[in-house]
Structure 1
Amino acid sequence: MLSDMLTELLPYSGSYRGGLSNHLPMTLQALAELGASDAELRLLAARRSHLEPLPDHGRDIGDTRGWLGDAQSEGAWRRRFACERGRGEWGRHWPSRLQLVLAAPASASFHGVIRLAYALRGGVEPEIDAALAYALSHWRLLPLPGLASAPQGLGEVLRNWQAAPLPIPDDGRLISDEIAAALALPDVPQRLPPGLLASAREQRLYARLLFQARHEFDALHLLTGWEAALSLARGHGMSEVPDSAALQMQAALLGIYIYNGCPVLARPGKMALADVGEIAAQARSQADDHSIKLALSCLRLAELEDDADWLMLAAQTARRGWRGVARA
């Protein structure tokens, strides 16, 4: 069963090799949602030789000051959550922690919010705690280059930047580092109108067009991160992500757009819609976990947004993998 497999993975850290995210719990949940059998899940769960044990430095769990954003606190957070569950206190702290995760959705290159959303859908409490511990221990706010709170102008900004592209920064290391490097370019604040904040739905449209223009790794994570953030919001009675999350996701969109050379964002041509069951079956056959997760995210966004364009992207991803998605 999936719950047993997720429990077997608990000794491992949320990251490995100095910052790469442990995708295995997320991919298992994604495959399960796509209808994978226990045998298929077991085959994937066995592929864990690349993972690293979770260190726990034994810090006092009675005082969490200074833990937020401290990667070395992941093990202590897990112990803290287990203690709170034993005392019946976990739920009392949950609303403020969810708010924290949503306020910094690009943390751990979007994997904090993604893993937490997947874990909550799976419902395995120790995995929920592991996902939350990873999100909080790797918590990071993106710099906001002059963004404010009135909706206007995102499409025009992107078109203007495409007409006169900003210089692409030096190669980064992790996705969040690339975004921060792009937003730190000196011309960025001067080329943003005051009061820029697009609606979340409009941002997701431009995020999809950006991926279809470049189908690059960081643009992919913007999509899966958006689906996870919206999943968390909808799962807790919100119609949309909070403004704090939308601001951070817009900053991420701008940074990724710059980092990908400010491409033209054109709507791709229409294609015949595939059956959802067929898309799920094709996605399960993909060997790459990013293709599996992107296909699932697009299927979910097609439903959450009531937008068939997401279904078309899901079908393309399931059939060809994320690298083979047709360019706009």
Structure 2
Amino acid sequence: MDTGILDEAYRRLHRTGPEFEGWLSNHGPMAVEALVRNGEAGRVHRWLDAYLRRLDELPRGLRPIDDWRAALGDPKRAGDWLAHFDRELRDRPWREVLGTWWPRLLPGIAAGATHGVIRVGHAVRALRDGGDQPQRLTELGQALGYWAARWQPVPGADGLDLGRANRPTGGHPVDEEADRPTGRHSAGEGAAERPERTDLIDALGSLPRLPDRTGGILDRLGRLPDVPGWSAALAAPHPARTPADAERGLVALTHRAALDYLRFGHENPVMLVHAVTAPTAVLRTLPALDPALWVPSLAAAWSATAAVTAVYAPPRPVAEPAVGPAEPAEVFARAARHGDEHVVKLADAVLDAHAATGDARVLAAAGYAGQLI
């Protein structure tokens, strides 16, 4: 992995904001990390030359974050959140900062159409691979700040006990009441319907669909509580009992979501990418977290994939497309040549799914995205 090029790319990107054109997520940091990691560092600066022209300037802060609960989910405080995490990561080790804020941010996993957690996952992987370089710490701070500013729960997911941990193995108990976000962003009761528990993959295949699949993701998520059976479907999977169960569940979830892209991706090729990349980001972050946080991390990842699937996937699948077989390196090389940031990120995610499961079918999802986008 060419760490020098990645740090140069981060330096160029960190003068830009986490969003542009009002609400579109800045994919630059995620895409360049994926390109460098997968052997395509030579494309990074040329790709950035074109992408940077689309971006806005870094937002300025207004005032310090004194009450973090009240500031969660307030995009007007984006500059304040970026400054807050910049200070935190100067004062404390990054794993300590991540361990403090992960359970606070996790219940808002829908933030920025899940781009908050996805960007954090890429940043954590870069830090784990390349060490505590200043640009990588800055990237983690900007990723966490974006997640905090756009913090958004999945409707009904508050019934899943997201983001709670009883006692991390480091010996410091978590104060659940102190770390629980306030109710002003509450996503609803979510516990009214309690089905019989089922397998995670069966639950994904049984999700109800939003009848009116129009509008942006915030509009669609807002209509989810009115979908018959949504709360029951969200609560259907058997809960993980151990960190190992949670890790296996995340592997299974990303694998199934990648295969589902082949059946449903035609409906909304860009947005359904996030049903794969969001749980992949959570899975990548696990090694940097206390194992006590792994079970709630699976619950949050499940809620994100379930929500994206329910609001964007059609009720019935189509036949899987014809995509020529290729080795993992060629799959990513094709995505890099394509150049779209979503194709690049999906290719990166399905390479992880293939490495974890050995199932070559998932690799076709990247090629299919390249056809659709």
Q: TM-score, normalised by structure 2?
A: 0.72
CA shift in 2, pair 1:166/1:222, >3 Å: closer
Structure 1, unaligned stretches of length 5 or more?
A: none
Task: Report the structure, 1 or 2, having the larger helix content.
Answer: 2
Alignment of 1:70 with 2:116, yes or no, is: no
Q: What does residue 100 of structure 2 align with?
A: 96
Distance (Å, rounded) in 2 between the aligned partners of 1:64 and 1:167: 33
Q: What does residue 204 of structure 1 align with?
A: 254
The residue correspondences of 1:1-328 to structure 2 (distance < 5 A) are 1-38=5-42, 40-47=43-50, 48-88=52-92, 91-123=95-127, 124-144=136-156, 145-146=190-191, 151-152=197-198, 168-169=211-212, 171-173=214-216, 175-181=217-223, 183-189=224-230, 192=232, 196-197=236-237, 199-215=249-265, 216=268, 217-236=270-289, 238=291, 241-243=294-296, 245-247=298-300, 249-250=302-303, 252-254=305-307, 256-257=309-310, 259-264=312-317, 268=320, 274-314=326-366, 316-317=367-368, 321=370, 323=372
Contact 2:203 2:236 in 1 (8 A): no
Contact 2:95 2:289 in 1 (8 A): no
CA shift in 2, pair 1:248/1:37, >3 Å: closer
Deviates further, 92-101 or 134-143: 92-101
CA shift in 2, pair 1:150/1:139, >3 Å: farther
CA shift in 2, pair 1:240/1:63, >3 Å: closer
CA shift in 2, pair 1:140/1:305, >3 Å: farther
Contact 2:262 2:321 in 1 (8 A): no
- Provide, for residues 22-45 of structure 1, a one-character-per-residue CA deviation record: whole Å limited to 9, x for no partner: 11111111111121134x211112
Query: What SS does structure 2 have at the residue aligned with 1:49?
Result: helix
Contact 2:72 2:148 in 1 (8 A): yes
- Provide, for residues 99-130 of structure 1, a one-character-per-residue CA deviation record: whole Å limited to 9, x for no partner: 23433332211111111111122231111111
Contact 1:74 1:134 in 2 (8 A): yes
Query: What SS does structure 2 have at the residue aligned with 1:321?
Result: helix
Contact 2:336 2:344 in 1 (8 A): yes
Q: Percent identity?
A: 24
The one-letter code of the counterpart of 1:110 is: T
The one-letter code of the counterpart of 1:56 is: R
Contact 2:154 2:307 in 1 (8 A): no
Q: What does residue 174 of structure 2 align with?
A: none
Contact 1:153 1:193 in 2 (8 A): no
Distance (Å, rounded) in 1 between the aligned partners of 2:278 and 2:234: 26
Distance (Å, rounded) in 1 between the aligned partners of 2:219 and 2:105: 18
CA shift in 2, pair 1:19/1:36, >3 Å: same
Distance (Å, rounded) in 2 between the aligned partners of 1:194 and 1:127: 32
Deviates further, 250-259 or 74-83: 250-259
The one-letter code of the counterpart of 2:236 is: L
Query: What SS does structure 2 have at the residue aligned with 1:13?
Result: coil
The one-letter code of the counterpart of 1:263 is: R
Contact 2:258 2:350 in 1 (8 A): no
Q: Post-superposition shift, 1:89? A: 6.5
CA shift in 2, pair 1:88/1:247, >3 Å: closer
Q: Post-superposition shift, 1:202? A: 4.7
Contact 1:78 1:129 in 2 (8 A): yes
Q: Post-superposition shift, 1:46? A: 1.5
Deviates further, 3-12 or 78-87: 78-87
Contact 1:148 1:195 in 2 (8 A): yes
CA shift in 2, pair 1:238/1:278, >3 Å: farther
Q: Post-superposition shift, 1:253? A: 1.8
